[in-house]
Amino acid sequence: MIIVLEEESRHLEEVLGGRFRKVRHGGKVAYVSVRQVPRETLDRLHNARIVDTGKPYQLASRSFVEDGTRVRIGEAEFGGKGIQVCAGPCAVESRAQLLEAAEAVKTAGASVLRGGAFKPRTSPYSFQGLGEEGLRILREVSDEVGIPVVTEATSPEQVPVVAEYADAIQIGARNMQNFELLKAAGRSGRPVLLKRGASATIEEWMLAAEYVLLEGNWSVILCERGIRSFDGATRNVFDVAGMALAKALTHLPVIADPSHATGRKDLVMPAAMAAVAAGADGLIVEVHPRPDEALSDGPQSLDPIGFRKMMSEVAKVANAIGRGLR
Amino acid sequence: MIIVLEEESRHLEEVLGGRFRKVRHGGKVAYVSVRQVPRETLDRLHNARIVDTGKPYQLASRSFVEDGTRVRIGEAEFGGKGIQVCAGPCAVESRAQLLEAAEAVKTAGASVLRGGAFKPRTSPYSFQGLGEEGLRILREVSDEVGIPVVTEATSPEQVPVVAEYADAIQIGARNMQNFELLKAAGRSGRPVLLKRGASATIEEWMLAAEYVLLEGNWSVILCERGIRSFDGATRNVFDVAGMALAKALTHLPVIADPSHATGRKDLVMPAAMAAVAAGADGLIVEVHPRPDEALSDGPQSLDPIGFRKMMSEVAKVANAIGRGLR
Amino acid sequence: MIIVLEEESRHLEEVLGGRFRKVRHGGKVAYVSVRQVPRETLDRLHNARIVDTGKPYQLASRSFVEDGTRVRIGEAEFGGKGIQVCAGPCAVESRAQLLEAAEAVKTAGASVLRGGAFKPRTSPYSFQGLGEEGLRILREVSDEVGIPVVTEATSPEQVPVVAEYADAIQIGARNMQNFELLKAAGRSGRPVLLKRGASATIEEWMLAAEYVLLEGNWSVILCERGIRSFDGATRNVFDVAGMALAKALTHLPVIADPSHATGRKDLVMPAAMAAVAAGADGLIVEVHPRPDEALSDGPQSLDPIGFRKMMSEVAKVANAIGRGLR
Amino acid sequence: MIIVLEEESRHLEEVLGGRFRKVRHGGKVAYVSVRQVPRETLDRLHNARIVDTGKPYQLASRSFVEDGTRVRIGEAEFGGKGIQVCAGPCAVESRAQLLEAAEAVKTAGASVLRGGAFKPRTSPYSFQGLGEEGLRILREVSDEVGIPVVTEATSPEQVPVVAEYADAIQIGARNMQNFELLKAAGRSGRPVLLKRGASATIEEWMLAAEYVLLEGNWSVILCERGIRSFDGATRNVFDVAGMALAKALTHLPVIADPSHATGRKDLVMPAAMAAVAAGADGLIVEVHPRPDEALSDGPQSLDPIGFRKMMSEVAKVANAIGRGLR
């Protein structure tokens, strides 16, 4: 249950007896109580808005912000009519590589640059990213090309430095339930792109977002990136209907990552088109100047030509449903 | 390996030593050998077309029929430019119910009527369908409304009677590896709508189709209907990228069932739009005149108004990608 | 709800209004009603035993037969104190092969011979079994060696012929929801070994057993054989705790198939030991005289030496928990 | 490939050209190279032991330490003949609760105390643990009762403080791929109990261990705790055969957590017995003085009487296979 007041209420806090969380939202104060608050207590509050979400998550529920939250990364607004596309290489490999990628994706219509500096890799022997050097390159290229940038933080300590260089912080699928990282991202002052865990339920995903929201950070974008299944034919299974369900459950923008969801460059375009048709507010796509030379995720990366083609087809679908790219 | 000849070759059969399957395709004879045939044997064949699919399945592979196979159910052609929509109730409950449903879906643009007479149900205490009486109703309503009908057979014995009444035979997800049923459907002379099993890999699905094709029945339509996952938020997970992959792997038409894939009426429309955007050749949708009174699958059934709305939105996507409904 | 009466009651049938199932059990009549029957109706019945299982399945529930049901295949009694082991090759390949296997497994302590004549295979190009010739060999070898035999039926038509030759009928994992086959097996007069489907929930498994029980066949043995997961390191995941849960939920004997559950001969022994430690009433194990030459499932088949070693280790566990082999 | 030398070799490092990892093991130096090293280079090394694991993980492979690694937590030795049992409450709730639990489990034969101070919880509204106060209680009770203690760290920052208070550091399932945490634990100087992620493959689990080993920390204990499946009948699926496979693949001790694996107190005992029968080196079990009052995981916690019963049954199995508890 959420109780929204014009200002803090000592009385309510006493009634709730310490068992509540308090957060600012739109100039008001939102008290979250997991237990039901007695009717008579609620009746005595002045100008209170009472929201009974009926869900384990509260602040993330659409019952709380029915008309949807819009989140900005630079000039790109997620959650509005336009569809935003983040694109770029899996990992920052060099300044030249990133610059080439950034120019290509911006030209093709992407509104946010992506690229990993801290790479969480299954094997310690795989390329781990350039670290802070990668962040510096991201910042420089972002400024030079004129496109905001999102990149991943993989531990609470990295959050401040990522927040310094990047316009938005990505929480990867493996870290969706890294709660200390979620809290740190919540306190960072930056928009957070929160990927769904590969075996996370929709509800667990919403609860992960709740960790960020409770820090008072309302700039959260959710990202469906495929779930783990029994069939290795695709890297993951793109849960397009789960994404549509998430859109119905939460007021936060929801985007899709067709690259990780499928793991195959030939399936990125159909998955991206499906995502937009089903209501995605945006896409995040891996694009590499030369996928065959990529240090990671080459098989699922589009080259600039493939990306332009994808953008063109996605635009057709976006226009057909009255949205359009951007 | 497939060897296509103008006519049967005793010589080749001797070389293959009994280890082959033979089937007619487009006036020619296709020999399927799972083992590699020596180059010199192949070189000695006249006018032979040699297809090396490199897959465990042979006849279902796109390498065999590169330009795609078209399958007709009545006037509806699957696998061409137009997108076909099958619609109707989960189960035939009465003549009146089916007639109302059939008229509604035809008016809204559906080209095939669906409805179950033999219902495979998890519980023996659930409604099991009207059986042959249901088939009679299907035939009558089909003729009266002027729309062809597809319905399920659940055992080899039922195939002849289903083939007598219906225009196409559906093999349900639970029976995807009911091999005796596949063979019987293959011999039925009717088009076969083969659903993917809820935990079947794409490859297993192709091999199930192979069982039908080997009986000389080339009218096979594949249907993705959701796979089983760890998250109960949706009944199944709609594997839209797996569907797109299937399209790339096989020459057979591939359609989607957004009703079973999601299990929720509010998700049928976005899933249907996603399916078409990702390349589906058609849809099969549960529509009931009054879903609240349905004897089965009410929660995932659209009412006629919802179906019309879905058709209108799906048409926008279909038109945008240059296909259109029908 | 189950209402057990000394004899049929026309009165009760009228009250239930056709919405019931009736089956003989231990000389009495059991009426199964999925809806609740009014208290006053129940009160008026003489000598009625009322069982409220609180589950979607009724006859399979342990609430119905609290002390457990014992099922005999030949001399082997499943569900008692002793642990029964079924063993033999995946497929009958020849009389010599089966005879060698049968003698080996009987000598090592197996009480039932297994071997497939009708093989449901994922690929139509894989060895499909010897069919009725395989059944004849099974019967002959069974009689010669003096060990009862269980073998699979894959369609309703096969049930009578399998019932003629074999001592028990196996329903394979792929056919767990082949309801026509379940009903045919229920009417066969033979004990039924019902494998859990690779992606079937425990409840769906119980409901599959219910289909057999409703035909009046109380000789049903359940078999956990591994479920499908995301990790290909083992062929399936052996759900040993699910097996223990099944034992708690149903009165029917429950056994384990460590061969299919793991798909690796080096894991058959530990999985078998785990099964017995967790309460399995028996095992079914693939044993081939020469696994390297097996036409199917060689990688998961033990050779006779490996089987004897497994039996010896399993016996230690069985003895430790006060049961023993047989 | 691992190259073990008596001492560091500048020559080898030059040949490997920076593409290697170096770690001390048993007084020697182990060079790990993911690429193959030319035969002639290897031939020129003196007294080198060359280990070709043929796996993506190197140091964790049994090929490297064939006779198995033993890991001590206090007096408890994991990986030897005796089976070690860790037990205690899910979360430290108070000094009194933990003391009562610690005495009960020690009396019943447990050799390590478990209890959470930092609790990673799906919902931010669930009890999050007592934090450092919980660690202090753990230390005090551990000293008072005379039993070493293992507890979880959920972020790199927590590792030093956990290492200060506890005898061993647990990495939970949600954090199995929290690589910064793995590295921090590797550098902590404490033994690490590494749980398998709920949807991690065996190979991913081994690679997670590799992250710890590469820091020079050889005291790693692996723990199977159930994997996520489609069936909600148990909280997870206890992958007992996967656990046995892990034992075969790695030299590290492998234990099982029947509490999380099943989520039901009635299944903890059979799962524990199965684990030991299949070769587990130990168990970790949730025990609470009064499970009904537990702040977390009550439904899967044994009470002291249930735990004693479990220990008695587990001991029978352990003795039967020649191991015994401790």
Nearest residue to B318 (alpha-carbon basis) of B71, B70, B75, B81: B81
Q: Which tops the pLDDT comparison, D147 or C35?
A: D147
Chain D CB within 8 Å of residue B231 CB:
no
Residue B199 with chain D: CB contacts under 8 Å: 230
* pLDDT of C18 strictly over 80: no
| Residue A326's pLDDT band (cuts 50, 70, 90) | confident
CB atoms within 10 A of CB B84: 27
- Which chain D residues are Cβ-neighbours of B263 within 8 angstroms? none
Instruction: Please indicate if any CB of chain B lies within 8 Å of the CB of D231.
Output: no
Contact yes or no for C231 and D230 at CB 8 A: no
Of all helices (H) and strands (E), which one includes residue B283? strand B282-286
Q: Is C156 on the interface with B (CB under 8 A)?
A: yes
d(CA D108, CA D100): 12
Verify whether the Cβ–Cβ distance A156 to D158 is below 8 Å. no
pLDDT of residue A18 exceeding 90, the answer is no
Which chain D residues are within 8 Å of C244, Cβ to Cβ? 267, 270-271, 274
Q: Does C122 touch chain A (CB under 8 A)?
A: no
Could you say which of B156, B199, B214 has the minimum Cβ distance to residue C155? B156
Average pLDDT on B186-192 reads 97
The per-residue pLDDT for C72 is 98
Q: Which residues of C touch D207 (CB under 8 A)?
A: none
Interface membership of C262 toward B (CB under 8 Å): no
Q: For residues D56 and C256, what is the distance between their CA atoms, to the nearest angstrom?
A: 33
Residue B228 contacts D, CB cutoff 8 Å: yes
Give the pLDDT confidence score for residue A62 in this predicted structure. Answer: 97
pLDDT of residue D80: 97
Would you call A230 an interface residue with chain D, using a CB distance cutoff of 8 Å? Answer: no
Name residues 164-223 of chain C within 8 A of A (Cβ).
Answer: 199
- How confident is the model at residue C271, as a pLDDT? 98
Contact with chain D for residue C262, Cβ under 8 A: yes
Q: In what order do the strands lie in the sheet with B49-51?
A: B21-25, B28-32, B2-5, B49-51
Nearest CA in chain C to A198: C230
Residue B234 reports pLDDT greater than 90:
yes
Please give the average per-residue pLDDT across C210-230, as a whole number: 98
- Among the residue ranges B34-43, B106-115, D103-112, the one predicted with the least confidence is B34-43
Cβ separation of B120 and C181 shorter than 8 Å?
A: no
What pLDDT is stored for residue A41 in this prediction? Answer: 86
Q: What is the β-pairing status of strands C192-195 and C282-286?
A: unpaired
User: Taking a C-beta distance cutoff of 8 angstroms, is the pair B266, B283 a contact?
Assistant: no
Check whether A195 has a pLDDT greater than 90. yes
- A36 at D interface, C-beta within 8 A: no
Would the CB atoms of C229 and A230 count as touching at under 8 Å? yes
pLDDT grade for B46, boundaries at 50, 70 and 90? confident
Q: Residue B34 pLDDT more than 90?
A: no
- The answer to whether the Cβ–Cβ distance between D56 and A123 falls below 8 Å is yes
Neighbours of chain A (3+ CB pairs under 8 A): B, C, D
Q: Please count the residues of chain C.
A: 326
- pLDDT score, position D15: 87
DSSP bridge partners of A33: none
Residue B114 distance to chain A (closest CA, Å): 23
D228 touches chain B (CB under 8 A): yes
The fraction of chain B above a pLDDT of 90, given in percent, is 92
Contact list, A181 vs chain D (CB under 8 Å): 155
Q: Across-strand partners of B116?
A: B91
Interface residue D230 vs chain B (CB under 8 A): yes
- Cβ neighbours of D321 in C, within 8 Å: 273, 313, 316-317
Which residues, 6+ apart, have CB-to-CB distance to C87 below 8 Å?
C101, C105, C108, C110, C112, C113, C114, C283, C284, C285, C286, C287, C307
Helices (H), D62-190: 95-107, 132-145, 158-165, 179-186
pLDDT band at C31 (very low <50, low <70, confident <90, very high): very high
Percent of all residues in chain B with a pLDDT value above 70, rounded to a whole number: 100
Q: Hey, what amino acid is at C210? A: E
Ranges in chain D, pLDDT < 50: none
**For residue A133, pLDDT beyond 80:** yes
Mutation to test the C interface, candidates D203, D273, D313, D316, most C Cβ within 10 Å:
D273
So what's the pLDDT on residue A266? 97
- Find chain C residues with C-beta within 8 A of B122's C-beta: 177, 204, 207
The beta strand positions in D271-319, using DSSP E, are 282-286
- DSSP labels, A263-279: --HHHHHHHHHHHHHTT
Vertex C294: Cα angle to C292 and C297 (nearest 5): 100
CA distance B168 to B212: 13
Between β-strands A112-114 and C220-224, what pairing exists: parallel, antiparallel or unpaired? unpaired
> Chain C residues with CB inside 8 Å of A230's CB?
199, 228-230
Q: What DSSP character marks residue B175? A: G
Distance (Å) from the alpha carbon of C302 to chain B's nearest alpha carbon: 27
- D314: nearest CA in chain C? C277
Rounded distance between C-alpha atoms, residue C233 and residue D31, angstroms: 28
ipTM of the complex: 0.96
* Chain B residue closest in CA terms to D198: B230
Q: What pTM was computed for the model?
A: 0.96
Question: Which band of pLDDT confidence, cut at 50, 70 and 90, is reported for residue A46?
Answer: confident
Nearest CA in chain A to B200: A231
Q: pLDDT digits over D261-300, tens only?
A: 999 999 999 999 999 999 999 999 999 999 999 998 889 9
pLDDT of residue D135: 98
- Rounded Cα distance between A206 and A224, Å, is 12
* Closest residue of chain C to A229, computed from CA coordinates: C230
Question: Contact D156/A154, CB-based, under 8 Å?
Answer: no
Calculate how close chain D gets to A73, using CA atoms only, in Å. 26
Chain A residues within an 8 Å CB radius of C232: 232
The architecture that CATH gives domain C71-325 is: Alpha-Beta Barrel (3.20)
Cβ–Cβ of B156/C158 closer than 8 Å?
no
From the list D202, D239, D271, the residue facing C278 with the nearest CB is D271
Q: How far is B53 from chain C (nearest CA, A)?
A: 14
Four-point Cα dihedral C231, C236, C241, C244, nearest 10: 170
Task: Please determine, for residue B18, whether its predicted confidence score (pLDDT) is greater than 80.
Answer: no
Interface test with C, best of A230, A235, A237 (most C CBs within 10 A): A230
Domain boundaries, chain D: 2-51, 71-325
